[in-house]
Amino acid sequence: MKAGLIGYPVKHSLSPLIHQVFMSHFNIKGEYLLFSVAPENFMERAAFLGSDGYSGVNVTVPHKKAAAEFCDVLSDEASSACAVNTILFSSRGAVGYNTDVQGFRAIAGSFPRPLAVVGNGGAAAAIRVAEKGNVISVNSRSGSLPENLPSTGTVVNATPLGWRDDDSFPIQVPPEWAFIDLNYNSRWRWRNSLKNVKVATGEEMLVEQAACSFRIWTGHKPGIRVKAEALKRIRSGFNE
């Protein structure tokens, strides 16, 4: 299997480690490479990889909407979100999927509703599809949630804020509300967890959506144990 990740930047991505765990489990020989591609070069690079024997690629910031335009065929989720994070190169051409939708559903099922989603990019679009549009959209620049919120719910960070130590999160998580941070290794979630707030992490969703991508490319579905192993491996890297 030849696969990879296209984004800008991608150097901190944990996706190669996750897919190495999956390939090892299923005894699949292959590689998963990182491609740092500026927006103006996305279409050309994606087309090249499709002609170079790649099974497919994952797509991350800032290319998810451009990837939807690139693909010849879109899944229902990708079409609804107008965003693609997984491309399969096939006899039908480039087929676009949005496995962020399944990934988010997998981690957010037990979290209280409503969801107040901070951000307006591809990840936020996937959440709206997963929740069938039943979310509260929050402008990260306004720095405030709507008034008269219910006593429980979940704030979701679907912005890039949190990658840098000096980032400040613009929204105060209300008391008794849960918090999902789609970034990984973010210090915000640890601050919120100290307040006894229910928290889910970006690396959990990353593993879930990666498992969906892996199944699209190979036909093999990573189960609970191999996904847990992948999650353990990437989290151990944070403490090294």
**What CATH number does the domain containing 111 carry?**
3.40.50.720
* Together in a domain, 93 and 106: no
Q: Annotated active-site positions, please?
A: 64
The DSSP line for 120-178 is -SHHHHHHHHHTTT-SEEE-TTT--PPSS--S--EEEE-SSTTSSTT---SSPPPTT-E
- The whole-number average pLDDT for the span 211-228 is 98
- Identity of the amino acid at 68: A
Confidence of residue 240 (pLDDT cuts 50, 70, 90): very low
Q: In whole angstroms, how far apart are CA 121 and each of 1, 14, 233?
A: 30, 20, 28
Q: How many folded domains does the chain comprise? A: 2
- The whole-number average pLDDT for the span 227-239 is 86
Residue 12, pLDDT score: 86
CATH number of the domain within which 222 lies:
3.40.50.10860
* Together in a domain, 77 and 29: yes
* Together in a domain, 180 and 113: yes
* Together in a domain, 37 and 122: no
- Model pTM greater than 0.75? yes
Straight-line distance from the first to the last Cα atom of the chain, in angstroms, rounded to the nearest whole number: 29
Range of the domain at 133: 102-202
- The whole-number average pLDDT for the span 22-29 is 98
* Together in a domain, 92 and 116: no
* Together in a domain, 81 and 13: yes
- The whole-number average pLDDT for the span 161-172 is 71
Confidence of residue 100 (pLDDT cuts 50, 70, 90): very high
Residue 82, pLDDT score: 96
What is the tally of helices (H) and strands (E) in the chain? 9, 11
